[in-house]
Amino acid sequence: MKVIIIGGVAAGPKAAAKIIRLIPDAEVTIIEKDKYLSYAGCGLPYYVSGEVKEQKELMCTSVGVVRDSIFFQKVKNVHVLTETEAVKIDRKEKRVLIKILANKHEKWLDYDKLVLATGAEPIMPPLPGVDLENIFALHGVHDAEGIKTLLADEHAKDMVIVGGGLIGVEITEALVHKGCRVTIVEKMPQIFSMLDWEIAKLVAEHMESHGVKILTNTEVKSFKGEQQVKEVITDKGTLKADLVIMSIGVRPQIKLAKDAGLEIGELKAIKVNEKMQTSDPDIYAAGDCVECVDRVTGKSCYMPMGSTANKHGRVAANNICGHEDKFPGVLGSTVCKVFNFTVGRTGLTESMAGKQGYAVEVVMAPAPDKAHFMSDAKPLLLKLVVDKKNRQLLGAQATGPGDVDKRIDIAAMALVNKMTVDQLANMDLCYAPPYSPAMDNIITAANVARNKLDGYMEGVTAKEVHAMLEQQKDFVFLDVRSPGEYAEVRLPNETLIPLGALRTRLNELPPDKEIIAFCKISLRGYEAALVLKAAGFKKVRVMDGGVVMWPYEKIK
């Protein structure tokens, strides 16, 4: 059996290796345009930062062997053609026209099965000056080298990142640590469009506390400079720039597939079935060039991820070798390091769920990520989105210095199994003080969701409270923390009555006004609301997330 694989970064090499394991005498050839093969693209920000010392490490196996053409030939028995372009697919004759870039020599290669692992390319908007030197995407090894070279230049200090998405944020830390002034320019009202507004705001504040300038609602109009970029012109003004990194997203590379008449999905990526088969049963596609199914909504989505590409490659290989295997789809599970915060998400955000027509209940659950008496316990701010109709989890987001990725992965497991918050709340997760609170953060969050769904707790978002304050609405903004906590930090226009004193000081509260209770994390706020309701107060709500998740200015 002859298999040609076009693309040598993640899905391609994975498929190749698996095919050879299943059918040792298959003839497998990888075609790769670049000279580099099988590198860890997600590691590039860490190569720029110097955390990864040598480029080579991103191309090594875990025991330090470089995955080059020789490695693939000797160890995997896979033939690799680098610096070779796949020009055209002839589906009728089942062959691929390739061009060796060094000498422009072209030839046809026959296949029984073909795998398209052509990946994605960064979107470079056709703005004036976008071709100036020192404007990079962070897409491949070449970009990383270019950025590193520039960082070595002591005069280059002003860096502009266009687009506040994953890659832009990941590289920011590296640039700040090198002593650069970094500005992120984002067209939308928030960075991190994968997150809900208030979680993104908490992350943005954290970045700002590390000296990063974030300009939202700001659009880049052009780039200026002689040979090299010197300025970024936006609709709000001009920014100095010795380096620009474009991070406004990627676009699936589908030209080959389109030219060959393969079906392209509504999101402009290659359409595949669960077996990773395209509309031509002898042609498979995998990785960043294909459309996936969203496991929560069941709809098509485009979520390019290195982890998904690897799984795609394996599923395609299994099916090519006659072993039925199905890829069930993705959740958009994402994690990212932002200075000493982690940011993570899986499933739907509140905003996405709204667009999809779900009626949702939302929980903000800030808490220490370990037993609170452990000295290394760190705050973890968790948000759950729950389907009001059937009480199933729809999505989770988290940020903070705490252990985010564990809770996001637990949520991901709940999502694929359509678990309700009731089921989640009684999960037997492992507990010891150095690892989690006795009731894990996600269990506490699930219980808060149950309280809300059952009508014991009526929440109100910080955003709504903030708007009420701005509009000078008449309500009591009731802080039930201790005087010590109040002295440290408080919210605007608040009234302090510590929870322990509340039962004896009820007469200080107007019976007719709305009361919005809160505390540090709004657990005591919840208890206060119950006390007030039991005492006959009619309109009592609890502010989600408390002081910890208040995304506006605080009084210190």
Contacts (CB under 8 A) with its own copies, residues 7-46: 10, 21-22, 24-25, 40, 42-43, 46
Is residue 100 at the binding interface for its own copies, with CB under 8 A as the rule? no
Backbone angles phi, psi at 340, to 5 degrees: -95, 20
Cα-based distances in Å from 438 to 373, 421, 441: 12, 18, 9
CB of 59 to its own copies, least distance (A): 9
- Sign for the pseudo-dihedral over CA of 95, 99, 100, 105: positive
Is residue 530 at the binding interface for its own copies, with CB under 8 A as the rule? yes
Contact (Cβ atoms closer than 8 angstroms) between residue 312 and residue 11: yes
Choices 86-94, 128-136, 277-285, 481-489 (CB under 8 A): range interacting with its own copies: 481-489
Contact (Cβ atoms closer than 8 angstroms) between residue 438 and residue 371: yes
3-state class of 442 per DSSP? helix
Selection from 315, 361, 372 nearest residue 461 by Cα: 361
3-state class of 487 per DSSP? helix
Site for its own copies in 152-211 (CB under 8 A): 170
Query: Distance (Å, rounded) from C-alpha 423 to C-alpha 425?
Result: 5
- Sign for the pseudo-dihedral over CA of 30, 33, 35, 39: negative
Query: Distance (Å, rounded) from C-alpha 40 to C-alpha 44?
Result: 7
126 or 536, CB closer to its own copies? 536
229 or 548, CB closer to its own copies? 548
3-state class of 338 per DSSP? strand
Contact (Cβ atoms closer than 8 angstroms) between residue 398 and residue 380: yes
Residue of 240, 372, 473, 538 that binds its own copies (CB under 8 A): 372
Is residue 405 at the binding interface for its own copies, with CB under 8 A as the rule? yes
Choices 153-161, 189-197, 385-393, 411-419 (CB under 8 A): range interacting with its own copies: 411-419
Residue of 310, 351, 401, 489 that binds its own copies (CB under 8 A): 310
Give the Cβ contact number of residue 489 at 10 Å: 14
Is residue 94 at the binding interface for its own copies, with CB under 8 A as the rule? no
CB of 232 to its own copies, least distance (A): 27
CB-side exposure of 505: number of CA atoms within 13 Å? 12
Is residue 1 at the binding interface for its own copies, with CB under 8 A as the rule? no
Residue of 419, 516, 517, 542 that binds its own copies (CB under 8 A): 419
**Considering 42, 60, 336, 430, which one is annotated as catalytic?**
42
Residue of 67, 271, 520, 541 that binds its own copies (CB under 8 A): 520
Site for its own copies in 259-288 (CB under 8 A): none
The size of the interface with its own copies (CB under 8 A), counted in residues, is 108
Q: Which structure tokens are listed for 479?
A: 């802080």
Is residue 425 at the binding interface for its own copies, with CB under 8 A as the rule? yes
Give the Cβ contact number of residue 202 at 10 Å: 21
Is residue 74 at the binding interface for its own copies, with CB under 8 A as the rule? yes
Give the Cβ contact number of residue 57 at 10 Å: 15
Question: Is 292 a known active-site residue?
Answer: no
Site for its own copies in 42-71 (CB under 8 A): 42-43, 46, 51-52, 57-58, 60-63, 65, 71
**Mode of pairing for the β-strands spanning 105-110 and 95-100:** antiparallel
Is residue 141 at the binding interface for its own copies, with CB under 8 A as the rule? no
Site for its own copies in 311-370 (CB under 8 A): 311, 314-315, 323, 325-337, 342, 344-346, 367-368
CB of 37 to its own copies, least distance (A): 15
Residue of 412, 445, 453, 543 that binds its own copies (CB under 8 A): 412
Residue of 103, 155, 237, 428 that binds its own copies (CB under 8 A): 428
Query: Distance (Å, rounded) from C-alpha 68 to C-alpha 398?
Result: 38
430 to 469: interface string for its own copies, x by CB under 8 A: xxxxxxx-xxx--x---x------x-x-------------
CB of 125 to its own copies, least distance (A): 26
CB of 217 to its own copies, least distance (A): 27
Residue of 75, 467, 487, 555 that binds its own copies (CB under 8 A): 75
4, amino acid identity: I
Q: Which structure tokens are listed for 408?
A: 């996001």
Give 340-355 as a DSSP string.
TEEEEEEE--HHHHHH
364, amino acid identity: M
CB of 159 to its own copies, least distance (A): 21
3-state class of 174 per DSSP? helix
Catalytic residues: 42
